[in-house]
Amino acid sequence: MKMILIVAAVVGLSVGLAQAQDKTYILSKSDMHVPADNLMSGPGLQEKIDLGRQLFFDPRLSSTGTVSCNSCHNVMAGGEDSVRTSTGVKGQLGGRNSPTVWNSAFHSVQFWDGRANLLEDQAKGPVTNPIEMGMKDHSMAVARLQKIDGYRDSFAKVFGGKASAKDAITIDKVAKAIAAYERTLVTENSPFDRFNAGDVKALSADAKKGWETFQKTGCVACHSGAHFSGPKMPIGTGFYQKFPLMPDANIEKTYGFSKDLGRFDVTKNEGDKNTWRVPTLRNIALTAPYFHNGAVADLSEAVRVMGKVQLGKDLSKSEIKSIVAFLNSLTGEFPKQEMPRLPAYELGLRRLNSISVSLRPDILVDCRV
């Protein structure tokens, strides 16, 4: 009888855990921001995703033929490039740390300063940024792609029309394809996700303690929701926070967080100075260095800094250790990625001369466009 009661109690506890699942933190693909003119369903979806993957990896979208989307957002790793600021065309350094592309489809605004809404908007920006990919304008990028038979055929297959048509390739179609691929970059089933679903063994004792500390110290005031980047917001409305909120002279001297004015550069609103879109904490253990300027290389130090300048608290070593253990539990399972074969220029352009740059035997950049 005693054994039956014990078993019943264990079963009841398990059921209770499952029922206690916090829906706030459930990762659901249905929460993605997807525009009506680029749905992730219907015939031809896989072909659109495959085309987007090719474009994402293709350095010919840059003026020098040396920088692709993947150069700064490496999907073979954490979705960024593991350096303070990225290197663009002609060796130029960008001003901010590259945000991870993994799970970016869930953001209501893109970039650190929220200057773009959808992934489609974001995909167009770097192409004509003089430091990043350096194209003079979008028509220059489109003209280069138009010279590649394989792309003309693929765009016609995905978006309709004739491959020979002048509008077979447009910058909007390029952005839609890239965005479709990026919406497949979702990391699910992290240890925390399994714990939240009722698997009490999914987290270590340190991680459980860290989750409690994370909540108790107030980290969830900003890093809440399924992506630990704030509440779900309508597209175009970002969840922003001032950083640093409580500047510390020593931390500022060491890391220089306040030098970049953040969203102010977009809005020119005084209240937006040093204000940033709250970044996701999913896979945070894989995306060092941290913060908008990539100034902090270590996750433990990033936690200490956040405690000091955002919460006004001097976190103890044990608190930092446990929070880091919890943050490690937010690393999800990464869908396998394969580098695509890129379509080549037509034979007439596959020659070395004063106007062509050889990158690889199968990729030749015609610098006339």
132 an active-site residue?
Answer: yes
**Residue 368 CB coordination number (10 Å):** 10
Point out the catalytic residue in the list 80, 132, 182, 319.
Answer: 132
Question: At a CB cut-off of 8 Å and minimum separation 6, what does 288 contact?
Answer: 82, 296, 297, 298, 299
Beta strand ranges found along 219-273 (DSSP E): 240-242
Question: At a CB cut-off of 8 Å and minimum separation 6, what does 152 contact?
Answer: 145, 146, 163, 164, 168, 169
| Separation of alpha carbons 59 and 70, rounded Å | 9
CB-based contact 272:263 (threshold 8 Å): yes
- Residue 220, exposed/middle/buried by CB under 10 A (0-12, 13-18, 19+)? middle
Structure tokens at 65: 């033929």
Query: What's the Rg (C-alpha) of the chain?
Result: 23
Residue type, position 347, single letter:
L
List the one residue out of 120, 56, 128 whose CA is nearest residue 337.
56
Residues with active-site annotation = 132
